[in-house]
Amino acid sequence: MDGPLTPRESAKFIAENSRDVSIDGGGVRRVAELLLAKAAGPELRLGGWKALHELNPRAADEAAVNWVFVADTLNFSFWSEREERKCLVGFGGRTYSGYWSLCAAINRALDEGIPITSASYYATVSLDQVRHILRSDTDVPMPLIEERHRILNETGKILLEKFEGSFLNCVRKSEKSAQKLMHLVVENFPSYRDVTEFEGKRISFYKRAQILVADTWSVLEGEGDGCFKDISSITMFADYRLPQVLVHLGALKYSEELLEKLLKGEMLSYGSRQEVEIRGCSLWCVELIRDCLLELIEKKGEKMSEEINSILLDYYLWDYARDHRDDMKGIPFHRTRCIYY
C-alpha cells in the first residue's frame, strides 16, 4: 500500500477542499510584507534558534542532538483547560510555561544529575520518575504524563536497539537528506506517525518529525551532519499555535460555525474534519506566505545571506505568537488532546 500524501501535498489537497477554514490572499501578502521588514534581521536566521532561546543547547555535539531528540519526542499538547491554571516550571531564576516548561524540566533534571537525554535511562524510566522530572511548580501537572512516560520507554528502547542509543546515528543514516531523516524517524518511532484521513485520502502532517529535523538542523547550525541539502523541503509544523497567529494576522479565516465552537472551548478530536482543515490550511498558508515573501525579496533586490524557508518562517511566527499572547486573547486556539502536536 503506498504511503500517505506528503505534508505539502496533504496541505494543498485540504486547502482545495476545505469548508470551514480558508486562506485570505490579502492577509497572506500583508504577513509577507511584515516578514520582509524582518528578512535581514536576526529572527529569520538559523542562528536565532540559539541566540533567542536560552533553554536550547549552546553546543553542536552529540549530547545536544540527543537533547533535541528527547525534547521533540515529548513536544506535544501543553495547553491547559483554563489559561490561568497551568503547568509552570522554574529554572535558572525564570518561570516557563507551555513548550518551554518541558525544556526547563529537561534542563532542571540534567542539573539534578538525572540523565534524561540518555536512551539507556529513559528506556526504563518509571512513571513516578517521569512525574518527578516533569513536575510543575503549580498544582497543575503537565498534560498527558502517562503518555509521555509510555513514549519515553518505547522510544528509548527503539533508539537502543536500532541506533546504538544515539539519535546522531539516525541522523548519519540520512546521508544529509532532511526527507530521508524525516522518513527514518516516522518508520522507526511510532509516536511520530502523525497521519490521518481526509476526503478518502491518507494524509500526513508529521509535525513532530518535521520539527525534529528542523531542530537537528538548528542545533548543528546547518553544518557537518546537519548540513541537509534539502532542508527547504520541510514545511511549517502544524501545531495549535500557528493557526491562532495566522488568524490573528488575517491570513487564515474560520467559518462562523467553527469560530463559535472554538470560542466555547469545545474540543476537536484528532483527525476530525475541522481539525484537519485547520492544520492543513495553516500549513498551506505558510507555504503561500513563503512564496510571496521570496517574490518581494526578489523585487526588492535584497541579497539574502541565507535562504529563507518555511522552518524559519514557522519559528518566527511561533515566537511572534508567544510574544503577542495578550493581543491574541480574542482568537481561540483549537483544543485537540493528542501526542502528535
Ligand X SMILES: Nc1nc2c(c(CN[C@H]3C=C[C@H](O)[C@@H]3O)cn2[C@@H]2O[C@H](COP(=O)(O)O)[C@@H](O)[C@H]2O)c(=O)[nH]1
Per CB under 6 A, residues contacting ligand X are: 49, 53, 56, 75-76, 78-79, 98-99, 215, 236-237, 239-242, 314-315, 318, 322, 341
Residue with the CB atom nearest ligand X in the bound state: 98
Integer Cα distance of 186 and 192 in angstroms: 5
Closest separation in Å from C-beta 230 to ligand X: 19
Least spacing, CB of residue 275 vs ligand X, in Å:
13
Q: Is 113 left (phi over 0), alpha (psi -120 to 50) or beta?
A: left
Cβ 53 to ligand X shortest distance, Å: 5
The residue among 164 and 284 lying less far from ligand X, judged by its C-beta, is 284
Using the minimum distance from each CB to ligand X, give the nearer residue, 56 or 66. 56
Question: Which of the residues are catalytic?
Answer: 239
Nearer to ligand X, 78 or 122 (CB): 78
Cβ 314 to ligand X shortest distance, Å: 5
- Residue 97 CB, nearest distance to ligand X (Å)? 7
Of the pair 80, 153, the CB lying nearest ligand X is at: 80
3-state secondary structure of 293: helix
Nearer to ligand X, 189 or 315 (CB): 315
Instruction: Name residue, grid cell 540520512.
Output: 174
User: Exposed (0-12), middle (13-18) or buried (19+): which is 303, by Cβ within 10 Å?
Assistant: exposed
202, 4 contact by CB (below 8 A)? yes
| Radius of gyration for the chain, computed over Cα atoms and rounded to the nearest angstrom | 19
Please state the separation of Cα 325 from the chain's center in Å: 18
Is 168 or 245 the residue whose CB approaches ligand X more closely?
A: 245
Q: Which of 268, 286, 285, 284 is nearest to 340 (CA)?
A: 268
Residue 208 amino acid letter: R
Classify strands 21-23 and 201-204 as parallel, antiparallel or unpaired.
unpaired
Using CA atoms in the order 4, 7, 12, 13, what is the torsion angle rounded to 10 degrees? 20
- Cβ of residue 56: shortest distance to ligand X, in angstroms? 6
CA–CA distance, 334 with 19 (Å, rounded to integer): 16
Taking CA 163 as the corner, what is the angle to CA 176 and CA 228, rounded to the nearest 5 degrees? 10
Distance CA 181, CA 187 (A): 10
Considering beta carbons, is residue 122 or 315 the nearer one to ligand X? 315
Are 142 and 87 within 8 A, CB to CB?
Answer: yes
Least spacing, CB of residue 221 vs ligand X, in Å? 13
SS3 state at 263? helix
For Cα atoms 191, 194, 198, give the angle at the middle one, nearest 5 degrees: 150
